[in-house]
Structure 1
Amino acid sequence: MPRVHAVADGTPDSVEVDLGVMPRRVRESLLAQLAEGERIVIRTRQHPLVLARHALWPLLAAWAWWWLVVDVEAAPRLIDLVLLVFLVGLARLAWKELGRRYTWFVATNKRILKHEGILTRTVPMMRLTKVTDMTYHRTVGGEIWNYGTIVIESAGQQQAIRELRYIPDPDEVNAALNSEIFGERPRRRRPGRPRPWSRLVRRDPPPDPPGDGGEPRGGPGGVGPGGGGRARPPAPPSEPETWYRSSGRRPTGRLGDTGEIPVVRAGEDPADQDAWAAEDTDGQAREIPLYPPPEWVDRA
């Protein structure tokens, strides 16, 4: 059985179907109130726990009647008086339940309506453009039995609809109202989220660029000045190697493109680090190991 707040289609053509769950008197009254081309966003009525306080009177009267008859064996007049209190409380509870069935809250793409009344009829309404703020509140009982209160604030001092109490499934109702009033699409819950970053792929460094004379830097054999020395590290390429290019990711809408993260390589021999401690004669800065660590690299 579908929930009372779930509309069938949410289009102007499905208004009569969306109102079909209501009593005939309420359905005809709301159809007369809606304009041509207006569609229903949400429809609901109060949670049954709104009757909990009214049900307390007949329950206490029934317990008192049982206690007087079985345990005390009181006078018949007292028993009849308690029985009368029980019947009155039961009739009052039935009237409140009938009023709950005839009280409906309906939100369309243009206004918010609330139909109430059994013998009489009251339909307060308010345009969505007048809504400035909304407050969503759930008590401990609301968390357990799934109901809540939505308070609607307007720019004017007097408003026809302000507090919607004992709304069932308040999370979904509040999300639908926010979507229609403030233009915010409700977040869709996904069972599992993908990894927020892409897996790093190892990239081999480009070949060493030739020197000014067409030979590798440092003379033939790639050794430093004087020859016979330890081979110097290759010169950095013209375009630095990168591990991550943020323009390939889907934009997050916060910081935008963060640019590229360069990879700076250093020799594995500790003696190389001593040889590169000072800057080169041509102003080339020494290379130091940076991120990413080796275990982040997919070597497959």
Structure 2
Amino acid sequence: MGVLGRFLDPQIDDHLLAVEGEIVIDEVRKHWAATAGWYALMALSIPLFAWMVWLGPLFWIGLLLGLTAFLVGAWKVHVAYMDRFVITNMRVFRVHGVFNTHLATMPMSRILDISMTQPWDGLLMGYGHFVFESAAQDQGLRDIRYVGDPKRRDLTIQRVIQLAGLRQTMKVDLWDVDDAAEPDGT
């Protein structure tokens, strides 16, 4: 697709370590709720364009307001479309930006804690927000907002971390209820 394709698609495959065997487990686009307000702004351009009829010789005011509403809404929708969060077998990364690409990466081994928040409207519409914690003070990948189906995405990340052997597993078959009892009965 060339240069034009770079502005229309974030091209996730360009950021993969294919030689090292990195594969995409999940590519997460922003949930539709992240752009709902911008679509509403684009829809507002229709009555603004219709308002031109009643403005007479000042029709250009309605034209400018309608074009501005439409173009700002379309731009913000495209910016949200270009924002991707990617889970691979080696790391998580976020690519965003239209003209300037920003890439933030965190290896699976550096993820210490993942917090998932679902506000009340996120519970209704099926989105949530992630906060990644690592040992680094300043990190480029911390807040990932408007993630669709956040519970499944969280389980996917936890599963990749576990299958990579980065977390220890307790041997349940070695656990005996009688061993846990203290002499005082607790």
TM-score past 0.5 threshold: yes
Tell me the residue number matched to 2:167.
none
**Residue 26 of structure 1 contacts residue 102 of structure 1 at CA under 8 Å; is this kept in 2?**
no
Matched, 1:166 2:151: no
Tell me the residue number matched to 2:35.
51
Tell me the residue number matched to 1:103.
83
RMSD of Structure 2 on Structure 1 (CA)? 3.1
Aligned counterpart for 2:159 among listed residues 164, 179, 199: 179
Tell me the residue number matched to 2:177.
255
Matched, 1:82 2:67: no
Deviations 1:101-153 (A, max 9, x none): 33221122221111222233222111122211111111122122211111101
Matched residue type, 2:102: T
Measure the CA separation in 2 of the matches of 1:143 and 1:162: 21
Measure the CA separation in 1 of the matches of 2:176 and 2:77: 50
Aligned pair count?
A: 166
Measure the CA separation in 1 of the matches of 2:79 and 2:39: 14
Matched residue type, 1:29: D
Measure the CA separation in 2 of the matches of 1:256 and 1:96: 61
* Cα drift, residue 253 of structure 1: 5.3
Matched, 1:141 2:121: yes
Measure the CA separation in 2 of the matches of 1:252 and 1:139: 40
**Residue 90 of structure 2 contacts residue 107 of structure 2 at CA under 8 Å; is this kept in 1?**
yes
Deviations 1:235-290 (A, max 9, x none): xxxxxxxxxxxxxxx96957269xxxxxxxxxxxxxxxxxxxxxxxxxxxxxxxxx
Identity %: 25
Note the 1:86-235 alignment, pairs <5 A.
86-181=66-161
Deviations 1:57-77 (A, max 9, x none): 3334433554674xxx34431
Query: Quick check: which one's strand share is greater?
Result: 2
**Residue 86 of structure 2 contacts residue 92 of structure 2 at CA under 8 Å; is this kept in 1?**
yes
Unaligned 5+ residue runs, structure 2? 1-7, 165-171, 180-186
* Cα drift, residue 161 of structure 1: 0.3
Tell me the residue number matched to 2:20.
36
Deviations 1:196-224 (A, max 9, x none): xxxxxxxxxxxxxxxxxxxxxxxxxxxxx
* Cα drift, residue 34 of structure 1: 4.7
Question: Whose Rg is larger?
Answer: 1
Q: What secondary structure sits across from 2:138 in the alignment?
A: coil
Measure the CA separation in 2 of the matches of 1:64 and 1:87: 9
* Cα drift, residue 89 of structure 1: 1.9
Distance 1:27 1:133, change over 3 A: closer
